[in-house]
């Protein structure tokens, strides 16, 4: 148990320190070039007329690898936070009471302790959205993805200030929306804050 926790911490420290563009380059090399599971670049296949459904599939296919890389870059800190939360929740009194009431272990762990341990994770998620939108600049450069991050970078390079303003407005909206959604989720998870 102790060794397992130690190994996981080491693994977490290692993944936390991978820069997202290097992680992206490795993912591209392994999954797109060597294995051929994903397209090499871009956000959709150009110069094709596809049915709406096929188009959606195509976009998702292009999105899969960059999105996964960005998510993997942030997954570790969620994992560490959730683990710490679970460890501290599992020792608390209400679980003892629940156990005395005869609740099954699984219910106690996931419905009770898990729900409470999830609270800081939700807050962190909202904070991460802000960092994520800035890291899209790097990820989209690696994958040659035609998204907002790349647009910001190009607008800066070509001194295209109106585009830049628009981009930042959109990014701000995204961050604010994410924070709002996190607040809503927080309320559902912990009814005490709703009042």
Partner 1 sequence: MSALRSPLALAGVGLVTLLVVAAVLAPVIAPYAPDVPSGPSYASPSLDHPVGTNNLGQDMLSRLIWGARASLTVAVGAATLALAIGGVVGMAAGLVGGVVDTVAMRVVDILLAVPRLPLLVLVAALAGAGVLTVTVLIGLMFWPPMARIIRSRTLSLRGRGFVESARGFGAGLPYLIRRHLLSALGPLVAVEFVAVASNAVLLEASLAFLGLADPTAVSWGLDINRALAEPGIYFTSAWLWWVLPTGFAITLAIMGFTLLGVGLEPVLNPRWERGS
Contact positions toward partner 1, by CB under 8 A? 10, 13-14, 16-19, 21-22, 25-26, 28-29, 32-33, 40, 130, 133-135, 137-138, 141-142, 152-153, 156-157, 159, 168
User: Minimum distance between the CB of residue 61 and partner 1, rounded to whole angstroms?
Assistant: 18
User: Minimum distance between the CB of residue 20 and partner 1, rounded to whole angstroms?
Assistant: 8
Q: Which residue, 122 or 132, is less far from partner 1 as judged by CB?
A: 132
CA proximity to 118, closest of 80, 74, 95, 86: 86
Distances 167 to 135, 148, 170, 174 between C-alpha atoms, Å? 14, 7, 5, 11
Given the structure tokens 């380059």, which residue do they identify?
25
Most distant CA atoms of the chain, gap in Å: 67
Contact call for residues 74 and 80 (beta carbons, < 8 A): no
User: Minimum distance between the CB of residue 79 and partner 1, rounded to whole angstroms?
Assistant: 16
Q: Which residue, 72 or 103, is less far from partner 1 as judged by CB?
A: 72
Q: What does DSSP assign to residue 95?
A: H
Cβ-count burial 68-95 (b if 16+ within 10 Å, e if not)? bbbeebbebbbebbbeebbeebeeeeeb
Q: Which residue, 28 or 125, is less far from partner 1 as judged by CB?
A: 28
What's the distance, CA 187 to chain centroid? 21
User: Minimum distance between the CB of residue 23 and partner 1, rounded to whole angstroms?
Assistant: 9
Q: Which residue, 117 or 148, is less far from partner 1 as judged by CB?
A: 148
Q: Which residue, 13 or 56, is less far from partner 1 as judged by CB?
A: 13
User: Minimum distance between the CB of residue 186 and partner 1, rounded to whole angstroms?
Assistant: 20
Q: Which residue, 92 or 134, is less far from partner 1 as judged by CB?
A: 134
User: Minimum distance between the CB of residue 127 and partner 1, rounded to whole angstroms?
Assistant: 11
DSSP string of 105-139, one letter each residue: HHHIIIIIIHHHHHHHHHHHHHHHHHHHHHHHHHH
């Amino acid at each position: 148990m102790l060794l397992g926790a130690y190994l996981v911490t080491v693994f977490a420290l290692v993944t936390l320190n991978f820069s997202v563009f290097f992680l992206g380059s490795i993912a591209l090399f392994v999954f797109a070039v060597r294995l051929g599971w994903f397209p090499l670049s871009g956000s959709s296949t150009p110069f094709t007329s596809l049915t709406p459904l096929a188009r959606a599939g195509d976009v998702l296919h292009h999105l899969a690898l960059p999105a996964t890389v960005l998510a993997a870059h942030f997954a570790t800190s969620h994992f560490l936070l959730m683990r710490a939360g679970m460890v501290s929740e599992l020792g608390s009194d209400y679980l003892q009471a629940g156990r005395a009431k005869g609740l099954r272990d699984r219910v106690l762990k996931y419905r009770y302790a898990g729900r409470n341990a999830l609270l800081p994770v939700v807050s962190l998620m909202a904070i991460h959205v802000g960092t994520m939108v800035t890291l899209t600049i790097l990820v989209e450069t690696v994958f040659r993805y035609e998204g907002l991050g790349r647009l910001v970078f190009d607008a800066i390079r070509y001194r295209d200030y109106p585009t830049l303003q628009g981009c930042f407005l959109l990014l701000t909206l995204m961050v604010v929306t994410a924070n709002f959604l996190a607040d809503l989720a927080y309320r559902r998870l912990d009814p005490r804050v709703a009042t």
